[in-house]
Amino acid sequence: MFSIIAPEQVAGLAWWPPLAVIVLLVVINIVNNRVAPQTHYLLWSFGGSVLLLAVGLLDGNSWTDMGLGWRYLLPGVIWAAASIGVITAVYVIGSLFRRTRAAFHDERMADMSAGRLMFQALIEVPFGTVLFEE
């Protein structure tokens, strides 16, 4: 019923792109979580995204090869909207029930000002976490 097809193996491919990606991911992860989690998180995440794109382009990939072509924009927006809707529904429904409400309580958010909370929700998470991870 299902079949697994392995990608075509090409002899003589450069070894540096996968090595560069692994090193960049490890370094940026350590810096973001240990060295500068509160001060330069957004800068390191955005810079890491740019560096990973540069590695892909230097390796000879096109924007379409990396999944960033124009033909992927509309399906990506549809998937993003659907994902946001499902996650929002889970949060709303989960926080309505007394037994599951504690799972959605985060002490780190209790001391945040409204401005800091909006910055984190609208800037840091989309451009720091999501952009880098996706």
Q: pLDDT tens digits for 76-117?
A: 899 999 999 999 999 899 989 889 888 887 787 778 888 988
The total domain count for the chain is 1
Indicate the average pLDDT of the chain.
87
The answer to whether residue 11 sits within a structural domain is no
Look at 53 and 111; give whichever has higher pLDDT.
53
Task: Examine residue 7 and state whether it is found in any structural domain, yes or no.
Answer: no
Q: Residue 41 is part of which domain span?
A: 16-133
30-48 mean pLDDT: 85
pLDDT of residue 1: 66
97 within domain boundaries: yes
Mean pLDDT score, 42-68? 92
6 in a structural domain: no
114 within a domain of the structure (yes/no) = yes
H or E element: which one contains 50? Answer: helix 41-58
Residue 71 covered by a domain: yes
Quick check: is 23 in a domain?
Answer: yes
Q: Give the distance from CA 40 to its chain's centroid.
A: 17
